[in-house]
Amino acid sequence: MPSKPDNHNNWHTKSIEDTVDLLETSTSDGLASTKVDEHIKKYGHNELTSNEGPQWIKVLLRQFVDVMNWIFLALGAAFYVLKDYITGSLLIVLAITNLYMTFSQEYAAEQTLAALRNLSSPQANVIRDGREQDVPSRDIVPGDILLIKEGDSVSADARLISISDLEVDEALLTGESMPVQKELIVLSSPDEPLGDRINMVYSSTVVSKGRGRAVVTATGMNTEIGRVAAKLNESKDDDKTQLQKSMNRMYIALLIVSVLSVIIVLASVKFKVNYDVGMYAMTAALSVLPAGLTTVMTVTLVMGGKEMTSQKVVVRKLKVLETLGSVTNIFSDKTGTLTLAKMVVIRFWTLKEGYFYVTPNGLSPEGEVYRTSGIQTREDEEKTNQGELIDKTQISPDITSLIQCSALCNMSSIYRREVDMSEKISPNLDELPETEDDWVSNGAPTEVALQVFAHKFNMGKPILEESGWELISEYHFDSTIKRMSTLYHSNQTDQNVVFTKGATERILPLCTHLSDSEKDQILQTVDILAAKGLRVMTLAYRKISTGKYDLGAYTREDAESDLDFLGLTGIYDPPRPESRQAVLEAHKAGIKVHMLTGDHEITATAIAKEINILNENTMSAETIRRLVMTGTQFDAMTSEQIDALEELPLVVARCSPETKVKMIEASERRHNVSAMTGDGVNDSPSLRIADVGIAMGKNGSDVAKQASDIILTDDNFATIIRAISEGRRIYQNVQRFLLYYWISLSSIAVVVLVCLAVRDPEGKSIAPLSTIAMLFLYVAITPPASALSIQPASKTIMLEPPRPPKESLFNREIILDTLVYGQSAAICFVISFFVPLYTIGNGVGGVNCDSNYVEGACDSLYRGRSSLVVAVTFIPLVIMIHCRSYREYEWNRDGLKKTLKSKTIMGTLVFDIICLLLFIYIPAAAVKGFRMLAITWEWGLVIGLTLFYIVFGEVYKMLKRRFLKPMTTTLVEINV
């Protein structure tokens, strides 16, 4: 058993120094890697014992509720009573085999699903070996220095050692709806109520504001959440999908149909039951009961979820695999999803000195600065011969203050990557060029861009703080006011300075020393920069005369007032190269893409045009204006006004989390199926109410991930399109699999019922198939069905419109296919049975042929059965090939190549032929087991029927292509 840290409930009564000493850690360097291993052995992993993997005994017990197993066992027992030990034994073996196979498949599926959930488990940011690291939450140990920020789900119980405006939502533990403001104090009472322990943070609570550092004091079952784990276990999602629920209802319906089939068979002989009639009734029942179908469905979906991981998508809820195929609208963030999130400052502007261009070099703090007369295209600027090169060591006080603001109003950092010296091949290491790969960043992309910008002037945050700038207070970024500020004291000049950055419209009203003409000039410049696709950040500052130690009473409102405007920075975040193509693919698939961003309206419009969300070739300027809104404009509209819009805006700039929720609700009222991306804690409401919530795996908060249905491990918009394509493929394969299965079974069921008309000389019905033959056919038709469930996507899958969400699993075309293919196959089966029956003899000549074979009298029946078994073995293979596509030819040259290369089809064909030869031509197996006889010319009859069915299927597809509505959409661009 993992041990508990000493006094594990009283850490709130200990000082920071005592806590650190007791846990043998360091506030600056954290634990050493060697200590981590020791602590894991001592305290165990940071996980609740309820989060175990699948238990095999529970999975095994679930198999006993499979009705098919009980039917096989009951039939086996019935055969033993009738002294048919061979058939009885086969049925019991089949029941045990089916139980084992379904158990092994479902247990493997459960393990896979557990692994997928582990992939989506939260990460934690800690300090170990003196460096910040991201580690899985389960690997957190007491003594780790935990870094937490807004949006994080706290990974373990921890004693706070530093905070910045930190508030934590502890409703999960305390029931209090208001976040708790944390403080660095020592509490005296060991019995302090949990909600009053303001120097602690607890596992599974959510950081709603600010940031902090804490030393982990308890993990796993030793945490407060662990102590009440039985009550707080996260309610399991209903992993039963709508598809599975539909299948369960269908299964019940088929059981009823099987019972009715038995009653019909018995009623046809006025319930005068003997061995032969009993066999007929059992065959009729089995002909409509698919064995283990629901288990196969579960495995197919779970394996589909596993395949998604190779597409960089972690599926948290199985039901989303169905929903993905119905997505009609995608509401996506811009930064990091549609763009690379490799932001870099390439422009800055001041009132007095105008425009400057900074050559970009990724994270590398190297680049030249040019004064320009205006703003040119980036292609021209990157030639670095435009404008006047300036000396970065000789800059004006205004620009110096702007750079200081960029560096100090900033919580990000950059540092040089540790390089393995053996990888350096140059004899002169100092002559090696510095590249972006040599640098690592930590923090929000926008802040990183500004930090790199400051480093290019040799005024990065570490350098400034070493020169005497001391942080007094931080007013963190607030999405509602769209700005952040820091209060610094300069020990060199003995000045206190507030640095502020944020959205222009939120900073400019606070700058009280600007004239109206200057404000107009600033706003015009913002529009010019934004029109080039740049994210514009406005910087301002204020000098405060109050003494350093008199700043404690300064509120945010006091600090962020009476500011002096410094300038504008233009940050470029290039679109991902694949985003434009991905948006085009979405349009072709009938999916509208909406971009929701915090950027300026003009910046958002420029990027949307660049990646084809807005198409200037097909949209008029008036239409583009209509389809672009700000969050403020959209939020001001009533639900009735939004519903009256011709269509929802494609671009929403200055978007808030509340805007996202309102957008999803508006989309739902239009009966759309919406996918929403998000990364912050404030995005969790929109992620929860969206049909498909998509969290960012790299930069997403833990709360967003827990609220989502799927997680993108690469934060890439193109991955969403791949996920939708994969979702469509999985659903399409399920339909193909079921279509094939029901065509085969329904056609056999029709034959069984039609043959009620075949009577022996005493007027008793004769079964066209023996029970053992029916069991063999189950084995014969299953491999092709499983092959259909893993088919690659059709070529047109992303050219088809989204599937209506309420569309039945069996849509009109599938019902039509089931009837046409099924009835035509039934006709072929009837012919294959009746021709030998009435050619060799004049129907059934013997009485009780199943229990008492009489040579000559029963030959026509037995040879008819052989012919039918051969037909029912071969024609389903043709059905499977027809079902690979709904309308495309499958018996042409390409289709034949695909068929011949299929190991499943060719292996099944060889297996079936060998079994048929054994079962038909070995007298003991044929007569006593399968109630059949050897055939000769009947092979030609069956082959002829098979060839007819091939031609019939291709002609039927040709008629569908001609007379049915095209499956693909003609929508290539957004319809305007």
Catalytic residues: 333
Angle at 854 between CA 768 and CA 748, to 5 degrees: 5
Alpha helix locations (H) across 269-336?
A: 275-286, 293-310, 320-323
Find, among 331, 574, 602, 556, the residue nearest to 445 by Cα: 574
Assess contact for 304 and 223: CB atoms under 8 A: no
Strand partners, 345: 571
Q: What is the signed CA dihedral for 920, 921, 922, 927, rounded to 10 degrees?
A: 50
Assess contact for 217 and 159: CB atoms under 8 A: yes
Pairing of strands 206-218, 180-181: unpaired
In angstroms, the CA 504 to CA 514 distance is 13
Helix, strand, coil percent values for the chain (each to nearest 5):
50, 15, 35
Assess contact for 269 and 764: CB atoms under 8 A: yes
Instruction: Look up residue 976 and give its amino acid.
Output: V
Angle between helix axes 717-754 and 859-882 (nearest 10 degrees) is: 160
Phi, psi values for residue 181, rounded to 5° = -80, 125
CA atoms within 13 A on the CB side of 227: 13
Q: Quote the tokens at residue 324.
A: 């993905």
CA atoms within 13 A on the CB side of 235: 2
In angstroms, the CA 146 to CA 159 distance is 9
The Cα-based distances of 758 to 383, 661, 834, 837, 848 in angstroms read 90, 66, 9, 10, 13
In angstroms, the CA 659 to CA 167 distance is 24
In angstroms, the CA 552 to CA 581 distance is 53
Angle at 272 between CA 266 and CA 276, to 5 degrees: 75
